[in-house]
């Protein structure tokens, strides 16, 4: 449904660094960058836009698709190494559905960042 989403960051370099490191296992990287901010996504298409903002951001829940459970695990390790705070280690969340495998990390500005795999 969404083509892309954008939001402000209280410290753009720190947010860029976190998201680049945390999402690298999912194939996400910097696609565009300029005075307007940074666009992250899969090669050729920015889907997540970050820009500097002096207003305090409202924490968001951002869930990213992972193609396998191993990639969810890799995201979690990378996000913690990037400075994220554990908000739920990799594992099944059967209260969502039987194959819902996800991990959650609190990133910059309090965002709840998730990687999820829906495959059995």
pLDDT tens, position by position, 101-113: 999 999 999 999 9
Per-residue pLDDT averaged across 45-69, rounded? 96
Tokens of 67: 């193609």
pTM for the model stands at: 0.96
Cα 83 to Cα 39, 61, 92, 97, 99, distances in angstroms: 20, 17, 24, 29, 28
pLDDT tens profile 5-36: 999 999 999 999 999 999 999 999 999 999 99
pLDDT band, very low/low/confident/very high, at 1 (cuts 50, 70, 90)? confident
């Amino acid at each position: 449904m969404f083509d892309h989403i954008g939001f402000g960051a209280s410290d753009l370099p720190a947010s860029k660094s976190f998201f680049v490191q945390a999402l690298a296992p999912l194939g996400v990287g910097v696609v565009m960058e300029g005075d307007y901010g940074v666009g992250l996504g899969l090669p050729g298409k920015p889907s997540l836009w970050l820009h500097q903002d002096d207003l305090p951001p409202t924490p968001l829940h951002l869930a990213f698709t992972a193609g396998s459970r191993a990639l969810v695990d890799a995201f979690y390790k990378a996000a913690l190494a990037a400075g994220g705070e554990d908000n739920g280690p990799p594992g099944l969340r059967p209260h969502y559905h039987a194959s819902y495998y996800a991990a959650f990390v609190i990133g910059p500005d309090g965002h709840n960042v998730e990687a999820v795999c829906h495959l059995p």
